[in-house]
Structure 1
Amino acid sequence: MFRPTLAASALALLVATPALADNPVPEGTTLAEDQTFTFWLLDAIKSMDPQINTDVEGSDVLRQLFEGLYNEDADGSLVPGVATDHEVSEDQTTYTFTLRDDATWSNGDPVTAQDFVYAWRRLADPATASEYAWYMELMQVVNAPEVISGDMDPEELGVRAVDDHTFEVQIATPLPYFPQMVVHASTFPVHQATIEEHGDNWTRPENMVGNGAYVLDEHILGERVEMSQSDTYWDAENVVLTNLTALTINDVNQGLTRYLAGELDRVDVPAGQFPRLKEEYPEQATSTPYSCSYIYMLNVGDSGPEVLNDVRVRKALAYGIDRDIIVDRILQGGQEPSYNWTHWATAGFEAPETEWSTMSQEDRMAEAQALMEEAGYGPDNPVELTLNYNTSEDHKRIAIAASQMLKPLGFDITLNNMEWKVHTDRMQAQDFEMARYAWCGDYNEASTYLDLFTSYSGHNNGEFFNEEYDAVMKESKTAEDPLPMYQEAERILAEEMPILPIYHYAQVDMVKPDIRGLPTENVMQTWYAKDMYRVAE
């Protein structure tokens, strides 16, 4: 993790990386004639707008069409994007990014610092209604809370264009991991004139102007996304893959079938099939840690069911789910059972010991039964709840297993499946009781998880509001070592149980053996098609 202590050290991150990228193909490699890449999406992408998108799969596509200040390499280290380097003031609160002078929009316009100013103001502006507006606040950008709340104009956000190639950001509190945060899609620049001309239609293929290595050719919602190499990208001469296709296939088993039929180059492995596939296709089946956590979120707000106001019921729900069965018998892909929120592989994080995490499952079930009896519930007086989940055979299998595990305790769980957009819209509107949810880190530091359950979070859909939790997370922003605060935040979540942790992800894939350039050592699993290529078989 990059932890600058002096202005000069901020540059050390990028000194070894040239401003002009090298060709990703090692010398002596024989390339295939076909340089296309087709990958799988589980769900339709809700928005192609960097400041509106909230989905991981959407970010995977946006990363090809747009480019931010920095990118990540295969190990997760920062490398130049539009920015070639940056300086940090002595007090660690002013970042000055130097932008390359050859970055160009797909319509030929130069990419300038003003494009970043416009995008960041747009993200924070209440008129944009972005669910990621809070990211500006997490980044500690000066005046972000006041702009987001509507108490200040977006022009007062702590960003400015010093000149066309110098972008300055002022933050309220030193954040050692601030540079890592600018790889997130919500911070990507957008083309102001295009948005002003086309409004909400600016993301249509015929209107979109991007600055990434690829341009959008076609987007059929819920079916496919087609992209082709951009001839205006600053490093176009080193981009090898010519065309990208993303296919939306809601059924993971169908996705695998189409992969084996040669229609896809990369697909997620369905639950339970990794051991077989690893044996049959040892070079294609892979499993690596992935910074995402799978939970059931509980609606503990005013719109939620009254029974979930009882922490005893919430704890019984959490204790009653046998995660070892879910991980070892259903998933079987290298995932880890979870008794906390932050992914175990997050840089610098160590999960605290909590009472329930150290129990045996037998003891957890006994404690859950006692809690339910104390709360006045049981098989003869069941708690009725509805669990929403988005379309996926894997989510269905986990939901069925969890509901069966909880039934002996006196929980009558109704399963409610819906498509991704409906599922997320209902969560954002607090129109749910229990909901399947997963969060993937926006950057490799524990705050990307733990800030989500603060009162100022844009994704705290279960409306868990806790003053002690807010105070701990606020203290972490100025702590020399924030780990004790992060561990205390995890303890509060374990004590209040507004979520039911289920498991920590692994990236479990099938990848064609001639594909090169996908990251293997980056827990964020951030990939860029511009760094990929196909070899001759």
Structure 2
Amino acid sequence: MRYFAILCTMLLLVSCNREPAIDTAPGPDRIVRLSDSEIKGLDPQKVSDLSSLRFAADQFEGLTRLDARGEAEPGLARDWQVSADGLTWTFALRENLRFSDGAAFDATLFPTLLQRLRAPETAAASAALFGNIQSVEAAGEQNVVVTLASPDPSLPALLTHPAMAALPLHRIGAASDQWTSDRPMVTSGPYRLAGWKLNDHARLERNPEWHDEPAPTKTIIWKPMDDSLSAMRLFLSGGADIAADYPASRHQWLEDNHPAAAHSVPYLGSYYFAFNTRSPPFDDRKVRIALSMAVEREWIADKVIGIGNIPAWGLLPPGLAGPVSAKPEWADWSRKKRLSAARALLAEAGYNPNNPLRFEIRFNSSAEHRRVAVAMAAMWQPLGVEASLFNSEAALHFAALRRHEFALSRSGWIADLPTPENFLLVHQQTNGAGNYSGYDNPAYDALLAQAIAEPDPARRQILMRRAEALLIADMPILPLYFYVTRSLVAERIAGWEDNISNVHPSRTLLIRP
């Protein structure tokens, strides 16, 4: 009996000290979101992966923020003014701003935020995004003045990045990471972190001191789910409201069986292969154009990929520099006419049945990349081209690209910001090892520099389109299609708006009655 009494006492103590069970299933005041990976960190200036940044954006707000359409709108600043030369931006703060612990802050916070972002000890991976900012200064307590090295109409979008959001510097002392251990964590946005169980879930609750109207949903649960098939199954069973991805192989099945839930949307990304223009055979523009002419992009996008991707002849996704993406003049020719022109170009370059064009297609491990490479090799066979395949894992693949050890290689670009220059600057000679193709055209560089220096948004866009047209004419890369994002959204969720940036802040989502 004495042993039994001691055992009961021990069990009682354990149950009293155990944290209360947290319901992480969808509920009447709780939205459950599945991310495609675990959060890597809680300090917005020290993370760079999408899962961590999306999580940070729910908790930290900057001078601007993104709305449900992925567009910049006033955040901590109620409005802003821009100088005629586009170099000086003045942001007027809202009144009586406070962190979630009640601590007040004003314009003097923001210069220190930039200093911390650029400090070597912070090791901020996103610091380079803010390289065009020369200074951030406080003009009194209510105005923040941002000075740029060159005009940038997209500055409001840049300042939505969590790395320049208001951080509780009053909580960040010598032990600079200790503040992220606070529960609830001190934040400046619509939510604050109430609990985090590694590899299980993170729980956000409303920030009672947020300047805006309270977020419509009381609790947001983020769950990591790196296997998209498992995420899809959990979603379909009712265990989640939103899944950040689903398998490409299940796209048609979802379209047939759950059309309201499946969202396949154009994204800020271009899928292409890079020619190594530094050496034969692809130092010859005629060879690059000939191969590009023979590729059936619609077939690759529809049959090989089959998840709603838009075929691409240019670099910029639709909407970035105009409603329709650019094409070379031969894009609408018949296949017969294109193949005839391609044969003539290869003959001019010295390739014929007695001297066939031979090269290797390099790609990183992925069934999708292999299918695309096989399809292109087959499309080039009528030209007498002999293309072999070489596959390696991602780290080795991109190391080879940086060392220029390839002929034709799988590449692509997903933008940090919804701006044309974020795509076009990659292909400047000054980009060094990051310019995989080695494209070197002073006219392109000069046109792009002119565009970046132009403060007028309309003229700037025209110059960006001209730069892209020059890139397409030289064809240092072989564009194939634009990326799409795949998401699953439950019918009970309102406020979700498909957009090219794939941005869906939790504060814009609500549960239907």
Classify the TM-score, shorter chain.
0.7 to 0.9
Q: CA deviation at 1:527?
A: 1.3
Q: Report what 1:100 is aligned to.
A: 94
Q: Paired residue for 1:531, among 487, 508, 511?
A: 508
Q: Report what 2:207 is aligned to.
A: 231
**What SS does structure 1 have at the residue aligned with 2:364?**
strand
CA contact (8 A) 1:48 1:62 kept: yes
CA contact (8 A) 1:324 1:337 kept: yes
CA contact (8 A) 2:268 2:317 kept: yes
Q: Counterparts of 2:307 and 2:385 in 1: how far apart (Å)?
A: 29
Q: Report what 1:474 is aligned to.
A: 449
Q: Counterparts of 1:387 and 1:349 in 2: how far apart (Å)?
A: 31
CA contact (8 A) 2:98 2:209 kept: yes
Structure 1 residue 33 and structure 2 residue 8: aligned? no
CA contact (8 A) 1:300 1:498 kept: yes
Q: Report what 1:69 is aligned to.
A: 63
Structure 1 residue 486 and structure 2 residue 480: aligned? no
Q: CA deviation at 1:442?
A: 0.8
Q: Report what 2:267 is aligned to.
A: 290
**What SS does structure 2 have at the residue aligned with 1:158?**
strand
Structure 1 residue 59 and structure 2 residue 49: aligned? no
Structure 1 residue 136 and structure 2 residue 111: aligned? no
Say if 1:485 and 1:35 are closer, same or farther in 2 by CA, change over 3 A. Answer: same
Q: Report what 1:145 is aligned to.
A: none
Q: Counterparts of 1:83 and 1:357 in 2: how far apart (Å)?
A: 46
Q: Paired residue for 2:495, among 517, 524, 527?
A: 517
Larger CA deviation: 372-381 vs 499-508: 372-381
Q: Paired residue for 1:383, among 337, 359, 381?
A: 359
Q: Report what 2:385 is aligned to.
A: 409
Superposed CA offset, 1:235-280 (max 9, x none): 4733414032132324x44433333233443333433543432232
**What SS does structure 1 have at the residue aligned with 2:174?**
helix
Q: CA deviation at 1:510?
A: 2.2
Larger CA deviation: 325-334 vs 98-107: 98-107
Say if 1:46 and 1:240 are closer, same or farther in 2 by CA, change over 3 A. Answer: closer
**What SS does structure 2 have at the residue aligned with 1:482?**
helix
Q: Paired residue for 2:415, among 440, 451, 459?
A: 440
Alignment of 1:11-30 (within 5 A): none
Superposed CA offset, 1:482-502 (max 9, x none): 233222211232233333322
Say if 1:424 and 1:53 are closer, same or farther in 2 by CA, change over 3 A. Answer: farther
Alignment of 1:233-382 (within 5 A): 233-234=209-210, 235=212, 237-250=214-227, 252-267=228-243, 268-271=245-248, 273-297=250-274, 309=283, 311=285, 314-315=288-289, 318-346=292-320, 348=322, 350-365=324-339, 374=349, 382=358
Q: Report what 1:9 is aligned to.
A: none
Q: Counterparts of 1:225 and 1:316 in 2: how far apart (Å)?
A: 51
CA contact (8 A) 1:134 1:458 kept: no
CA contact (8 A) 2:364 2:397 kept: no
Aligned residues: 475
CA contact (8 A) 1:452 1:459 kept: no
Letter in 1 for 2:442: E
Letter in 1 for 2:263: T
**What SS does structure 2 have at the residue aligned with 1:509?**
strand
CA contact (8 A) 2:30 2:221 kept: no
Q: When the two structures are superposed, what TM-score results if normalisation uses the length of structure 1? A: 0.74
Stretches of structure 1 that go unaligned for 5 or more consecutive residues are 1-30, 142-156
Query: Over aligned residue pairs, what C-alpha RMSD do you find?
Result: 4.0
Q: Counterparts of 2:275 and 2:187 in 1: how far apart (Å)?
A: 38
CA contact (8 A) 1:106 1:230 kept: no
Say if 1:427 and 1:246 are closer, same or farther in 2 by CA, change over 3 A. Answer: farther
Larger CA deviation: 44-53 vs 262-271: 44-53
Structure 1 residue 84 and structure 2 residue 58: aligned? no
Say if 1:199 and 1:167 are closer, same or farther in 2 by CA, change over 3 A. Answer: same
Structure 1 residue 170 and structure 2 residue 165: aligned? no
CA contact (8 A) 2:59 2:191 kept: yes
CA contact (8 A) 1:194 1:208 kept: no
Stretches of structure 2 that go unaligned for 5 or more consecutive residues are 1-25
**What SS does structure 1 have at the residue aligned with 2:434?**
coil
Q: Percent identity?
A: 25
Say if 1:82 and 1:430 are closer, same or farther in 2 by CA, change over 3 A. Answer: farther
Q: Report what 2:15 is aligned to.
A: none
CA contact (8 A) 1:67 1:212 kept: yes
Q: Counterparts of 2:178 and 2:377 in 1: how far apart (Å)?
A: 42
Letter in 2 for 1:470: D
- When Rg is computed on C-alpha atoms for both structures, the one with the higher figure is 2
CA contact (8 A) 1:241 1:529 kept: no
Say if 1:231 and 1:58 are closer, same or farther in 2 by CA, change over 3 A. Answer: closer
Q: When the two structures are superposed, what TM-score results if normalisation uses the length of structure 2? A: 0.77
Alignment of 1:104-123 (within 5 A): 104-106=98-100, 108-123=102-117
Q: Counterparts of 1:129 and 1:475 in 2: how far apart (Å)?
A: 32
